Amino acid sequence: MQIKSITRDPYLYIFLIFALYPFYPFLGKFISLGSELLLFFIFTLSFNLCLGYTALPSFGHGALYGMGTFGAALTFLHLTPGMGIECALIIGGIAGMLGAAAVGWVIRNKKGIYFAMLTVAFSQVLFGLCWRWDEVTGGESGLTGIARSSFLGMDISGSIPYYYLCFGFFAACAIIIRVIAHSSFGMTLQSIRQNPIRATYLGYNTGFYKFLVFTLSGFFAGLAGALYCFLAGAAFADIFDWTKSGDVVIATLLGGGTASFYGPIVGSLIFLICKELISAFWEHWLLAYGLFFVLIILICPRGLMGLCDRKEQ
């Protein structure tokens, strides 16, 4: 029974596919694209804890990711220069978590549209702050020269070792997020999604649960952002732009995050690859990008996984 349930688990296949990515004949050359995909998977899974499990329409997750990036970059450059990246990664995650906690506490009892508006507004604050406060964040030119060194004594300056570090973090985060989603805490979140009023009458403090899940999700988003800063070797202010938040929302919706747990991974895979391809060949790719958003909502708002997986309905 155990073996059967493991071999049927889509996770196993996702892990297997990505475990061998650097050795694929063609894709293997684009190894940083592979690392970026893995980090984006962590990001969408963390976002899906909010949208898919709790129905919290957060539109400011890009800012939490950016806080992770800048938290890690600043720690690495100023607090632990020349040392390993462990500390920077942890601080990046914590930065995302604290940002989410501060915002989440103010807006924990807001509903639907108000929640979305407030997350947009708060993420704009960080965008403005990052542009203006240039002695810390580097302003327009950003923070550069972040050369990753080692992780727990292992040398990760090459692109393949770093890919496997990202893979390790992805596997760990994916498993932890799924454990959270299937725990009693996750069940409570789902009951809040399905009927918030009934959940309140059953004695759950729904506002507090929303605050908790937003904070938790902020940690994983921040961690993904921190890993990204070492992948890119730099941190720029445009990471706070709302297109980053738009990316994660559309990738989750495309994959059908509201209907399935691994949907966001499928969605981000398709979305990121399309985006890379179009932006490489067309100057006005943002036109196609915008139309893509419109078409997804018009054609399959429940997402691709929502089309095949109907057990929730």
The residue from 109, 157, 159, 195 that contacts another protein (CB under 8 A) is 109
307 binds another protein (CB under 8 A): no
Location of structure tokens 């501060």: 102
Q: Footprint of another protein on residues 124-143 (CB under 8 A)?
A: 124-125, 128-129, 132-133
| 175-183, 197-205, 213-221, 294-302 -> range binding another protein (CB under 8 A) | 294-302
| 36-44, 50-58, 155-163, 174-182 -> range binding another protein (CB under 8 A) | 50-58
Report the residue number, 181 or 250, with the smaller CB distance to another protein: 250
Tokens (6 digits) for 131: 């542009």
Per-position b or e across 233-245, b if 16+ CB within 10 A of its CB: ebbbbebbbbebb
The residue among 92, 117, 112, 107 whose CA lies nearest residue 239 is 92
| 61-69, 74-82, 118-126, 267-275 -> range binding another protein (CB under 8 A) | 118-126
Helix boundaries (H) for 20-111: 31-48, 54, 61-74, 86-107
Q: How far is the CB of 56 from another protein (least distance, A)?
A: 10
Report the residue number, 110 or 178, with the smaller CB distance to another protein: 110
Q: Footprint of another protein on residues 243-262 (CB under 8 A)?
A: 246, 249-250, 253, 258
284 binds another protein (CB under 8 A): yes
Q: How far is the CB of 19 from another protein (least distance, A)?
A: 33
Q: Where are the beta strands (DSSP E) in the chain?
A: 150-151, 154-155
Half-sphere exposure of 282 (CA within 13 A, CB side): 11
Yes or no: say if 241 and 126 are a contact pair by the CB < 8 Å rule.
no
Give the Å distances, CA to CA, from 46 to 4, 70, 170, 202, 296.
28, 18, 11, 27, 21
Tokens (6 digits) for 73: 């970059």
By the criterion CB under 8 A, which residues form the site for another protein? 51, 55, 57, 59, 106-107, 109-118, 120-122, 124-125, 128-129, 132-133, 242, 246, 249-250, 253, 258, 284, 286-287, 289-294, 296-298, 301
